[in-house]
Amino acid sequence: MIEDTSNRATFVEKSNAGQVDLDNQTDEFFMHQAMSLAKKAQDAGEVPVGAIIVIDGVVIGQGFNQCITLNDPTAHAEMIALREAAQNVQNYRVIDATLYVTLEPCPMCAGALVHGRVTRVVFGAYDHKTGAAGTTMNLLQHNSLNHKVEVTSGCLQIECSAQISDFFKLRRKQRKQG
């Protein structure tokens, strides 16, 4: 059972269904929140990507793409969420944190996540052009780096992929019409 108490999620296991089921519920719960943030990006005309950073069930950072709005090529959802998380923990390292993001991080975001010592990344849709969590390259677990980030891929993949695909289909249709 999942209870939402503000930004804190409490998970109560009623049977011995196993830790894997509980972890999947947790991942899906926070990915749905990231998808809601992605909708805010879409409503602002941005590529719909949302990100949430969580420590011990508490959301400590969140963001959605704002590159166009802010005229800032670094204003990716992950970067905004990471900045907020670092401010909230008063440390540039966000140890023991999990990032939930609707799209696989790009190289810029992956580098920031490594430097920020994020423990785990859970992403929804694969990015076949610039994915840096294993699809085109794997910066999050690169042997040359001093920190490796655990990666869980494909959480709510169908829903996250559809959110992004539908956005680009609509954008192409609008360009043909106007």
Q: What gap in Å lies between CA 16 and CA 18, rounded to an integer? A: 5
Positive or negative, the Cα torsion across 105, 9, 27, 114?
positive
Tokens for 156, please give them. Answer: 């709510």
Q: What gap in Å lies between CA 110 and CA 108, rounded to an integer? A: 6
Strand partners, 3: 10
Q: What gap in Å lies between CA 147 and CA 158, rounded to an integer? A: 30
Q: Which of 46, 78, 84, 104 does the annotation list as catalytic?
A: 78
**CB burial of residue 30 (10 Å; 0-12, 13-18, 19+):** buried
Indicate if 78 belongs to the active site: yes
**Which residue numbers are catalytic?**
78
